[in-house]
Amino acid sequence: MFLLACERGCAVFGVPGGSLEKECEKEGVAFCSFGFWSLLSKSSAFDVFLTARSRDTAVALLVALISGKRVVRLDFVNRGIFWDRFVEVVPVSRLGWVRPYGGEIKKGRCWKVVVVSRLKKERKVAECLKELVDVPFKFRLYVVGGGDESIVKDLGIGIVHIKRKIKRYRRLLASMDIMLYPSAGTDKSCRAVLEAMDSQVVVISKEPLTEKYIDEHVGFLTSDVGTALKRLLAHPCLCRKKGLNAAKRVKRWMVPLPK
């Protein structure tokens, strides 16, 4: 939603003093503290309020009824709420918004496989990585994300764990060949998958929500990560073909949502 606001030149409303306000300062986007009076006082400058959370939608709707504005709720979790009968809802099937990378895409000689995820038990990263133990091909495995590092220890496979925030994350991603995607994050938009596809990285996903992005032409949507990885590593031409197809496919998610 932040990227969508940047594209449209909208203001972003949120809790002051956090990372969102800092991002707005960096991107030159107007930031306002969220609340009824704050929204009402600035309502004349906007035609549409973009929201996601139930509470935010209720506040924005009340202001919209007073000021004659419109509310659009982005439904990242595929779950209806009471206020949906009064607002325009954008379902999760239409969500997915990333900026194009635009940088150099350079693959190395050694196979590089990456998992981008916070290390939480519910993200099922360890379960996914355990399926790689019997893969008979050499590859370098990267895990990008903070959280509980013990989750990926003692799995019987070597891991390069990058837990700090990376300034040139998209450049790092563009050097990878394959992404393993165990499960969706908090907002359910699966943005990491789109970013990988944009850099010709083939995605092997276990997350059903990625069905709108991935099919047999661009990657694998499967419960058997190990078998899918073996197939790609055994057939480099297939991996390159899927990567190129993915980069073409992802362009449809590089445009703003209809107004």
Q: Given this model, what pLDDT does residue 197 score?
A: 95
Contacts for 218 with CB less than 8 Å, ≥ 6 apart: 197, 202, 203, 242, 245, 246, 249
With contact defined as beta carbons under 8 Å apart, do 175 and 157 qualify? no
List the one residue out of 221, 1, 228, 226 whose CA is nearest residue 133. 226
* pLDDT(255) > 70: no
Q: Pairing between strand 140-144 and 202-205?
A: unpaired
Count CB atoms within 10 A of the CB of residue 221. 19
Contacts for 198 with CB less than 8 Å, ≥ 6 apart: 98, 100, 101, 246, 247, 250, 254
Between CA 223 and CA 230, with CA 229 as vertex, the angle to 5 degrees is: 115
| pLDDT, tens digit, 9 for 90 and up, residues 37-85 | 877 887 787 777 777 778 888 888 898 899 888 888 878 777 888 888 9
For the entire predicted model, the pTM comes to: 0.72
Share above pLDDT 70 across residues of the chain, in percent, rounded to a whole number: 86
With contact defined as beta carbons under 8 Å apart, do 63 and 40 qualify? yes
For residue 6 the two structure tokens come to 């940047």
| pLDDT, tens digit, 9 for 90 and up, residues 216-250 | 999 999 999 999 999 999 999 999 999 999 999 99
* pLDDT(3) > 70: no
| pLDDT, tens digit, 9 for 90 and up, residues 146-179 | 888 888 777 778 888 888 878 889 999 999 999 9
| pLDDT, tens digit, 9 for 90 and up, residues 100-137 | 788 888 888 899 999 999 888 888 988 999 999 889 99
- Tokens 């139930």: give the residue: 54
